């Protein structure tokens, strides 16, 4: 599975810490479809959560009108959108907060992707320092 790696913004006290880096998978977000409000709150996506709740309240209000079948069908669209674009919302939020895109890595889970990414960066630094090829 492919992940994008993001490092936190540098601060006045010394810079972004590498161990706080985040790996976001480049896949669908099934938990965003199953439990959208909890998934949005867990990832601290507050504005999308507010929009989702407004759409949900509007959908519930429309369920009592003759437009109930249409409201039922439209009610699934926000969850479907979050399934397909949820991780991109996370990337956009990190970018707005000043996080830097550090690269792309492959791994079965985010921890493995981070280890591979920073292991590769260590190998590149070692190669450039000592002027020899390092195999990983």
Over residues 88-116, the pLDDT tens digits come to 999 999 999 999 999 999 999 999 999 99
> 135 in a domain, yes or no?
no
What is the model's pTM? Answer: 0.77
> 136 in a domain, yes or no?
no
Whether the predicted pLDDT of 62 surpasses 90: no
What value, to the nearest 5°, has the Cα angle with vertex 126 and ends 120 and 132? 110
Within the chain, residue ranges assigned H as helices are 30-34, 36-42, 46-62, 68-75, 77-96, 110-130
For residue 25, the enclosing domain spans: 2-130
Whether the predicted pLDDT of 128 surpasses 50: no
Number of domains in the chain: 1
């Amino acid at each position: 599975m492919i992940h994008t790696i993001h490092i936190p913004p540098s601060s006045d006290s010394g810079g972004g810490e590498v161990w706080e880096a985040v790996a976001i998978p480049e896949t669908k977000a099934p938990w965003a479809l199953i439990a959208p409000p909890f998934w949005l709150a867990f990832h601290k996506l507050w504005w999308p959560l507010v929009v989702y709740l407004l759409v949900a309240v509007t959908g519930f209000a429309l369920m009592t009108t003759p437009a109930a079948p249409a409201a039922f069908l439209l009610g699934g669209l926000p969850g479907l959108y979050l399934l397909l674009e949820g991780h991109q919302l996370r990337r956009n939020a990190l970018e707005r907060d000043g996080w830097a895109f550090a690269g792309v890595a492959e791994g079965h889970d985010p921890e493995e992707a981070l280890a591979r990414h920073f292991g590769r960066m260590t190998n590149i630094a070692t190669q450039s320092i000592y002027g020899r090829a390092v195999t990983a």
